[in-house]
Amino acid sequence: MESKENMNERFNRNTESNLSDDEAKNLKYNEEENSYELDIEPEDEDYQHPDPYDTAADDGDDMDSDYDEANPYVGDEYEKNRSLENDLDNLGMHTTDEDHLKISRRDERNSHVPEDDRDDLDAEGYPKNE
């Protein structure tokens, strides 16, 4: 049985990387970015990973509030300088005109509920604060 002191030392990590666990040993260090690669080198030289991962963020930048800790592979999804007007194709979006936003009379009738006729509720169905 491993002593408590020994276990604590094994899991103690400071600002320096301590790659003692098995998963971390498989990571490749990228000196250029001072980071470890999240994707390992394939055994087959011709294999190209369909979604190569970015490396971990520099200098703890992944602690910023715009970093998605649950999904480190999102890349630049949270890039603040992206423009909806200029980057629609890259963002997987498209523009539409007003004709596509119009509701037919039939759809309007089908969506009508008794709350729509009440004056004491707002458009979302909540009581008005008057």
Phi-psi region of 60 (alpha: psi -120 to 50; beta: other; left: phi over 0): left
Tokens of 61: 């930048």
Global pTM exceeds 0.85: no
Residue 108: predicted pLDDT: 92
The residues that bridge with 36 in the sheet, in sequence order, are 29
Cα 1 to Cα 3: distance, rounded to the nearest angstrom: 6
Tens-digit pLDDT string for the chain (130 aa): 555 555 555 555 444 555 555 556 667 777 887 777 766 667 788 877 766 666 565 665 655 556 566 766 666 666 677 777 777 777 777 888 888 889 999 999 999 999 999 999 998 889 998 7
Cα 98 to Cα 93: distance, rounded to the nearest angstrom: 16
Q: Which sequence spans correspond to the domains of the chain? A: 21-41+52-61, 96-129
Cα 92 to Cα 77: distance, rounded to the nearest angstrom: 12
